[in-house]
Amino acid sequence: MLSAFAVSAFAGNEANPDAIELAPLPAPAEFRIDMDRPVAFDASTTVALECPDDKGTEWLAVHFREWYGAQSPKVVASNLSTFQPLKLSGSPEAYAIAADASGVRIAARSLAGVRWAAYTLRQLAIAKRGTFKTEGRILPAVEISDVPLLGFRAVHLCWFPELRPQQMERAIRLAALLKFNYAIIEPWGVYESEKHPWWHWPNPTMTKAEVRRLSALGRDLGITLIPQINAFGHASSSRSCTMKHMVLDIAPEYEPLFEPGGWNWCLTNPETQRVLRELIAEMHEDFGNPPFFHLGCDEAQPPTCPECRKRPYGELVCEHIAGLADFVKSRGARAMIWHDMLLDRSDKRWKGFVKCGSKATATLADTLSKDVIICDWQYSYGDMKEVCMDWPTMGYFKEKGFAVAGCPWMNYNAMKPMADYIAKIGGFGFIETTWHHLRGGDWVKMYKYASAAAWGTPVPPGTPQYDTPFGNVMRLVGYDMKTTDYLDTGHLNYQVPPGWWVDNN
């Protein structure tokens, strides 16, 4: 049947490239698609899955039932040797799909590859035409052999007090469908610690039950949730521009744990180490003991308390972070930290790049354990759309022997060059930070550009009036959450701000 798939058969797609409703796009070398030759994808279809992991067949069947109900295709395990049409890359996340009149075939090297194949099919499948209600689905004829550029592809999500848990779940589910495989979750004063109930604002939304539920959900969807605690600066768990402090504003008795003013933890206080270790252990356990733990450590200030000023701060910071990193290691995980305190801001080599450290804290780049993963956030300050081809700070950490991840924000055009640079130097991965912009057009662009960059493919072409690829995948998240709340559709809570008619007419 393969001969029916001559490349010329896909001319329909070339004439209308907007019709590729899939993000991230697969590796372009092995991607052919033709919606003018639709293939049945319903209860009459058998999907043959070839995967050495037996769990793949079960996972696919369960999720097809969840997505398609009585109209689900059947899933049967098949033998890899019978899968001829496309080469399957050796990467553990690789997958290949062939769909034609003879049926649908998937090959994958692991359960991860099965998931990515399933998400690709799910985005491409549309309702069969010509009926009032959905009566099964159709796929374009496709041949895909796909593999990600980078093995670690993360989004960094901030759980603010203002964020509803549904928004966090949507962000996690959407990231998974776009083939991110990690999500770093940073609580901003919302984690409900049992051990230290003073360490959150009143009525925290990130309850232990919710953390456990979302972590289990992530494991099923193929996106591992990684917890974060800001173990150095940002101890207020609030944006600096608001002058809020999660602890000191309402529980002043904990003042000794922080430097005067509250921005840094007081690193010479042994109680600080105890508290942070207890919080790390509790959170790590709630997240299901994932293989990484993010310790924050960005944008700290020089110390002002008499005890912390007695010793060179670089030494003290190194001891503090190394102690916590060892503790994380003793729990079977690797610590991650932001990079900026490890670069001396007066060092001319880093001109134009983010660096917040002093000569003292920059010594950490030589003294810190090489087990720690350096998350180098570079936002192309001055121009968020700037293209930067070379990333000297990332190269520096790699040369020092660290695993380094490139972390963009809304510098969209820099994302692909950054991911390509990380791949070129054999870096660790890519982390898309989102901060307080997880809504509206910023959310769409951050996810679209970052998922494409980390996967190693171009950004899907924009459709003229309505972003169909993104709208489709966002809607799938809504189906999975059985959303009926107006607030949880689209990428903004409201089309028109509440009160608009009253205030403006």
132, 156, 153: which is closest to 230 by C-alpha? 156
Q: How many CA atoms lie within 13 A of 6 on its CB side?
A: 2
User: What sign for the dihedral angle of Cα 194, 197, 200, 201?
Assistant: positive
Nearer to Zn ion, 128 or 277 (CB): 277
Residue 257 or 419 having the CB closest to Zn ion: 257
Q: How far is the CB of 306 from Zn ion (least distance, A)?
A: 8
**How many chain residues bind Zn ion (CB under 5 A)?**
4
Q: What does the alpha-carbon distance between residue 437 and residue 450 come to, in Å, rounded to a whole number? A: 14
* Residue ranges in 293-332 that form contacts with Zn ion under rule CB under 5 A: 305, 308
- Smallest gap from Cβ 193 to Zn ion, in A, equals 22
Least distance CB 491 / Zn ion (angstroms): 43
Minimum separation from the CB atom of position 262 to Zn ion (A): 11
- Nearest of 213, 234, 237 to residue 225 by alpha carbon: 213
Q: How many CB atoms lie within 10 A of CB 242?
A: 8
Kindly state the smallest distance separating residue 339's Cβ from Zn ion, in Å. Answer: 23
Q: Which residues pair with 405 in a beta bridge?
A: 375, 429
Between residues 305 and 444, which has the closer beta carbon with respect to Zn ion? 305
Smaller CB separation from Zn ion, 253 or 390:
253
Of 239 and 311, CB closest to Zn ion: 311
Nearer to Zn ion, 175 or 308 (CB): 308
Q: Is the peptide bond before 24 cis (omega within 30 degrees of 0)?
A: yes
Measured from the Cβ of residue 15, the count of other Cβ atoms closer than 10 Å reads 9
Angle at 169 between CA 175 and CA 106, to 5 degrees: 45
Query: Between 112 and 266, whose beta carbon lies closer to Zn ion?
Result: 266
CB of 252 to Zn ion, least distance (A): 17
**What residues contact 392, with CB distance under 8 A and at least 6 apart?**
349, 350, 353
DSSP 8-state assignment for residue 148: -
Which tokens is 171 given? 């962000």
Give 207 or 269: the residue with its C-beta nearer to Zn ion. Answer: 269
Four-residue CA torsion sign, 364, 367, 373, 376:
positive
State whether residue 138 is helix, strand or coil.
Answer: strand
User: Both ends of the chain: CA-CA distance in Å?
Assistant: 64
Q: Please give the residues from 241 up to 300 whose contact with Zn ion meets the rule CB under 5 A.
A: 266, 268
Distance, in Å, from the CA atom of 186 to the CA atom of 412, rounded to the nearest integer, reads 22
CB of 365 to Zn ion, least distance (A): 23
Provide, rounded to whole angstroms, the least separation between the CB of residue 307 and Zn ion.
5
Which of 235, 266 has the CB closer to Zn ion? 266
Q: What is the rounded CA–CA span in Å between residue 199 and residue 222?
A: 30
Q: Would you count residue 481 as binding Zn ion (CB under 5 A)?
A: no
Q: What is the 3-state secondary structure (H, E, C) of 467-478?
A: CHHHHHHHHHHH
Residue with Cβ nearer Zn ion (305 or 387)? 305
Look at residue 191 and give its three-state secondary structure. Answer: strand
- Judged on CB neighbours under 10 Å (0-12, 13-18, 19+), 270 is exposed
The residues of the shown chain that bind Zn ion, judged by CB under 5 A, are 266, 268, 305, 308
